[in-house]
């Protein structure tokens, strides 16, 4: 079920692309696809000039994403090692990117699988 449309009236909201950059993913549309499939929440707002709805992330949306997922950039920040070392450990343990039904969401991993190996 899609989230209700809201107006962005308060600071603290990020665009999907700004959020992607903050977690080290710059692929266009990756977050929209992840949210559209119901894997993470988003806040939809009407376009100011009548275009398609815009996707934003509220502070709660961001918290929910981080509870479920990690990216190489967030792993690097949490574990204090270079992402190549961390990704090598995940590969050696057989941990794959999050890809239900073969969908490609980029370098997004389930947090519980990552922490099980890296902590």
Q: Give 57's strand partners.
A: 14
The Cα-based distances of 19 to 15, 44, 58, 101, 118 in angstroms read: 6, 14, 10, 25, 24
pTM of the entire predicted model? 0.82
3 state DSSP class of 19: helix
The pair of structure tokens assigned to 13 is 């909201």
Per-residue pLDDT of the chain (119 residues; tens, 9 = 90+): 555 555 444 557 888 888 888 898 888 888 888 888 889 998 888 777 877 888 889 999 999 999 999 999 999 999 999 999 999 999 999 999 999 989 989 999 999 999 999 98
Domains of the chain, residue spans: 14-118
CB-based burial of residue 31 (10 Å sphere; 0-12 exposed, 13-18 middle, 19+ buried)?
buried
């Amino acid at each position: 079920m899609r989230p209700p449309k809201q107006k962005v009236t308060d600071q603290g909201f990020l665009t999907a692309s700004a959020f992607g950059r903050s977690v080290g993913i710059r692929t266009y549309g990756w977050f929209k696809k992840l949210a559209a499939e119901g894997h993470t929440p988003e806040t939809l707002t009407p376009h100011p000039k009548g275009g398609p709805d815009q996707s934003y992330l509220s502070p709660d949306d961001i918290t929910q994403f981080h509870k479920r997922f990690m990216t190489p950039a967030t792993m690097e920040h949490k574990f204090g090692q270079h992402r190549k070392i961390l990704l090598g450990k995940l590969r050696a343990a057989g941990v794959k990117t999050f890809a239900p039904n073969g969908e490609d969401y980029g370098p997004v991993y389930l947090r519980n699988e990552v922490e099980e190996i890296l902590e």
